[in-house]
Amino acid sequence: MNCRSEVLEVSVEGRQVDEAMLALLHTILLHRSTGKFLYKKEGTYSIGTVGTQDVDCDFIDFTLVRVSSDELDRVIRKAVAEFKDALGNSGSDGMGQISLEFYQKKKSRWPFSDECIPWEVWSIKVNVVNLANEQERQICREKVGEKLGEKVINIVEVINRHEYLPKMPTQSEVDNVFDTSLKDVQPYLYKITYQITDSLGTSVSTTMRRLIKDTLAL
């Protein structure tokens, strides 16, 4: 199986890191989650509904749409908070990457542990910019909102392609494909990881500074 890999790049002000990451991660997980499976007998099941919730950002002109699951939201927020803290404490000029990997389990014979096989990975490269004044912050608030809107459209377009998804499992195999630990939603098995680096490049931050400079010149 070939693992699909998608890369998104964003440049944000420090106070926007949480909201930008939550917007992108929640968008992906919204389209990679189902309602809870309700099995009647092996091979026969119904799927519950997935509610959605609009969340207005405080520091970006953007409203994100997420799965209406407080449990899932807490998991994502915890991962994003850890990433932001590491980014702020790294001294690496505010550059890092957070990744969302979807995988399925392949049962192994005892005494070996199950094999985790990734089938889709989303990597979000982040660059934190330092702004000089409130006017620049207001422009950044608007520009980041516009960029996030473009990224969300890109995510939806990628997800709507007819590409590999794990086949719907039988009841005995559901835990090999889906995270069944949440009460109100069932995302595909996933993990969130991050790395802090000073080698992501400066093209994104340069573009953002140019956008702010051009807007100030108008």
DSSP letters for 62-74 = -EEEEES-HHHHH
Tell me, what DSSP letter sits at residue 89?
Answer: H
The ranges assigned to domains in the chain are 4-208
User: In whole angstroms, what is the distance from residue 109 CA to residue 162 CA?
Assistant: 33
Q: How far apart are CA 178 and CA 198, in angstroms?
A: 35
Measured distance CA(211)–CA(106) in Å, rounded: 47
pLDDT tens, residue order, the chain (218 aa): 689 999 999 999 999 999 999 999 999 999 999 999 888 876 678 889 999 999 999 999 999 999 999 999 999 999 999 999 998 887 656 789 999 999 999 877 777 777 899 999 999 999 999 888 999 999 999 999 999 999 999 999 999 998 889 998 888 899 999 999 999 999 999 999 999 876 444 444 555 555 555 655 54
Enter the pTM of the model. 0.87
Provide φ and ψ at 175, rounded to 5°.
Answer: -75, -10
Paired residues of 12 in beta bridges: 128
